[in-house]
């Protein structure tokens, strides 16, 4: 299956890493390979369809990135370095940069409020999905995705602004 989805996974991974610091060691190819290992590992479940697979891949890549940035921030690995930041061209407002760990924490709070809105954000931001692809993956209408997306962006922005 990997040869059929590899290019699309690589595009998603490149999208994740687009706003991150250029000197980082994690690259799109490594992110795809790590995600595949997690998806195909012993705990990997079968997928119902293409949308289910890409939801799982987006979630795996998100967790890989979070783990990666947490390790980089650890004192034993030079925690005094400047924080790795994710430019927000897809989530919030123009010219805003937010630490990826702050986004993850805010996304966890959003998930407690509305897991469906959190899944929309995860697919749109970490999965690189369009409104239509997100609707298909979640089995809801594009109007619902747009409504959830508007709410989630505003909510996340308020949470991230409050954290500053």
Report the SS3 class of residue 99: strand
Report the SS3 class of residue 72: helix
Reply yes or no on whether the pLDDT at 118 is more than 50: yes
Instruction: For Cα atoms 73, 76, 78, give the angle at the middle one, nearest 5 degrees.
Output: 50
Reply yes or no on whether the pLDDT at 83 is more than 80: no
The partner residues of 97 in beta bridges, in order of sequence, read: 87
Which of 158, 135, 157 has the alpha carbon at shortest distance from 147? 135
Q: What is the DSSP letter of 129?
A: -
Tally of structural domains, the chain: 1
- Pure H helices in 41-141: 50-73, 100-113, 115-121, 131-138
- Residue 89's pLDDT is 36
- Residue 45's pLDDT is 62
For residues 144-162, give the mean pLDDT. Answer: 91
Q: Which residue has the higher pLDDT, 58 or 163?
A: 58
Q: Band the pLDDT of 148: cuts 50, 70, 90.
A: very high
Q: How far apart are CA 38 and CA 61, in angstroms?
A: 9
Reply yes or no on whether the pLDDT at 100 is more than 80: no
Range of the domain at 120: 2-163
């Amino acid at each position: 299956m990997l040869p059929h989805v590899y290019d699309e996974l690589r595009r998603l991974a490149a999208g994740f890493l687009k706003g991150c610091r250029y000197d980082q060691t994690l690259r799109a190819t490594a992110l795809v390979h790590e995600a595949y290992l997690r998806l195909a590992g012993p705990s990997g479940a079968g997928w119902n369809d293409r949308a289910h697979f890409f939801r799982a891949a987006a979630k795996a890549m998100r967790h890989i990135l979070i783990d990666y940035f947490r390790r980089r921030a650890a004192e034993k690995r030079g925690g005094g370095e400047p924080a790795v930041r994710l430019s927000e061209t897809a989530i919030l407002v123009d010219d805003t940069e937010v630490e990826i760990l702050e986004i993850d924490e805010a996304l966890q709070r959003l998930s407690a409020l509305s897991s469906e809105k959190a899944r929309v954000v995860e697919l749109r931001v970490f999965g690189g999905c369009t409104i239509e692809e997100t609707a298909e993956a979640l089995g809801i209408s594009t109007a619902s995705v747009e409504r959830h997306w508007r709410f989630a962006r505003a909510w996340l922005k308020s949470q991230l602004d409050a954290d500053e």
